[in-house]
Amino acid sequence: MKNKVVKKLQHHVFFVHSLEVSKQFYMDVLDINFSADNSPTTSAAMYLIGQSMNFYSFGKYHHDICLVHNPKFKMVPDDDMLHVTFKLNPSKKLVHLKEKLQQKNISFKEGRILQSQNQAVNAIHFKDPSGNVLEIIE
């Protein structure tokens, strides 16, 4: 394979309605670690743009996910095509994540979002509190 310009995806940014609600959701559901808070009171750059954001890590990098506070953001209703897919840690089972979602009354759909993809892969998808679609594959 030729040497590509890009090696891997470093992080993904989500707009969210509430940083606190989203922080609890992502930490509880995905077991992701909070890394840093950038807000107008903690960062000169954030002060200049009047923005707040939180960073989260799955453990290897400073941040894999960045949540940006944007209360006016609206997802296109019922459009699961705009999504991000996470691969489940091999030491975890999708059945346990489904149980956790059910306990938290978070609805999810079974299977891959794109029906043309390998349907033999065990997968679910659901929305975060702001409507961002997350797909988890085992």
Q: Where in the chain is the domain with CATH 3.10.180.10?
A: 12-69, 83-137
CATH fold, domain 12-69, is 2,3-Dihydroxybiphenyl 1,2-Dioxygenase; domain 1 (3.10.180)
pTM score, whole prediction: 0.84
Per the CB < 8 A criterion, the answer to whether 100 and 125 are in contact is no
CATH code for 83-137? Answer: 3.10.180.10
Q: What is the pLDDT along the chain (138 residues), one digit of tens a residue?
A: 677 777 777 888 899 999 999 999 999 999 999 998 887 777 766 666 678 889 999 988 888 999 998 888 777 766 677 888 999 988 889 999 999 999 999 999 998 888 765 666 789 999 999 999 999 998
